[in-house]
Amino acid sequence: MSENKENLEQTEAVNQAAEETKAEKVEVSKVTSKEADEDFDWDAFEGTSLEATGEKKDEMTALYNDTLSVLQEKEVVDGKVISLNKREVVVDIGYKSDGIVSLNEFRYNPDLKVGDTVEVYVESLEDQKGQLVLSHKKARALRSWDRVNAALEKDEVITGYIKCRTKGGMIVDVFGIEAFLPGSQIDVKPIRDYDIYVGKTMEFKVVKINQEFRNVVVSHKALIEAELEQQKKEIISKLEKGQVLEGTVKNITSYGVFIDLGGVDGLIHITDLSWGRVSHPSEIVQLDQKINVVILDFDDDKKRIALGLKQLTPHPWDNLSAELKVGDIVKGKVVVLADYGAFVEIATGVEGLIHVSEMSWSQHLRSAQDFLKVGDEVDAMILTLDREERKMSLGIKQLKPDPWEKIDEKYSVGSQHTARVRNFTNFGVFVEIEEGVDGLIHISDLSWTKKIKHPSEFTSIGADIEVVVLDIDKDNRRLSLGHKQLEENPWDVFETIFTVDSIHEGTVIDIFDKGAVISLPYGVEGFATPRHLVKEDGSQVKLDEKLEFKVIEFSKSAKRIILSHSRVYEDVKKAEDNAKKKTATKQAQKGMKNVKDNLEKTTLGDISELAALKTQMEKDEKKDND
Pairing verdict, β 478-482 and 437-442: parallel
The hierarchical CATH code for the domain 238-312 is 2.40.50.140
For 526, list phi and psi in degrees, rounded to 5: -125, 175
User: Residue 598: pLDDT above 70?
Assistant: no
pLDDT classification of 343: cutoffs 50, 70, 90: very high
User: Residue 33: pLDDT above 60?
Assistant: no
pLDDT classification of 308: cutoffs 50, 70, 90: very high
Give mean pLDDT, residues 64-79. Answer: 67
Give pLDDT tens digits for 477-524.
888 898 888 877 777 778 888 888 888 899 998 888 889 998 888 878
Give the separation between CA 380 and CA 353, rounded to whole angstroms. Answer: 10
Long-range contacts of 274-280 (CB under 8 A, 24+ apart): 274/309, 274/310, 274/348, 274/349, 275/310, 275/313, 275/315, 275/316, 275/348, 275/349, 276/316, 276/335, 276/345, 276/348, 276/349, 277/335, 277/336, 277/343, 277/345, 277/351, 280/254
Query: What is the reported pLDDT for 92?
Result: 87
Q: How far is CA 133 from CA 11, 121, 297, in A?
A: 10, 9, 67
Query: What is the reported pLDDT for 49?
Result: 45
Task: Name the more confident of 151 and 608.
Answer: 151
Check residue 539 and report its DSSP letter: P
Give pLDDT tens digits for 127-157.
777 788 888 878 877 777 888 888 888 888 8
Q: Which range has highest mean pLDDT (44-58, 458-472, 574-588)?
A: 458-472
Under 8 Å between Cβ of 324 and 365:
no
Under 8 Å between Cβ of 394 and 344:
yes
Amino acid making up residue 581: K
What is the share, in percent, of the chain residues with pLDDT greater than 70? 80
Widest Cα–Cα separation across the chain: 228
Under 8 Å between Cβ of 344 and 335:
yes
Task: Name the more confident of 364 and 12.
Answer: 364
Give mean pLDDT, residues 240-258. Answer: 90
Question: Domain 403-486, CATH 2.40.50.140 — does that match?
Answer: yes
Tell me the fold of 491-564: OB fold (Dihydrolipoamide Acetyltransferase, E2P) (2.40.50)
Weakest-pLDDT range from 91-100, 126-135, 305-314, 471-480: 126-135
The hierarchical CATH code for the domain 155-224 is 2.40.50.140
The CATH 2.40.50.140 domain(s) of the chain lie at 2-140, 155-224, 238-312, 316-399, 403-486, 491-564
The hierarchical CATH code for the domain 2-140 is 2.40.50.140
Pairing verdict, β 464-473 and 503-512: unpaired
Domain 316-399 CATH superfamily: Nucleic acid-binding proteins (2.40.50.140)
pLDDT classification of 45: cutoffs 50, 70, 90: very low
Which 3-state string (H, E, C) describes 64-116? HHHCCCCCCCCCEEEEEEEEECCCEEEEECCCCCCEEEEHHHHCCCCCCCCCC
Give mean pLDDT, residues 552-563. Answer: 85
| Average pLDDT over all residues of the chain | 79
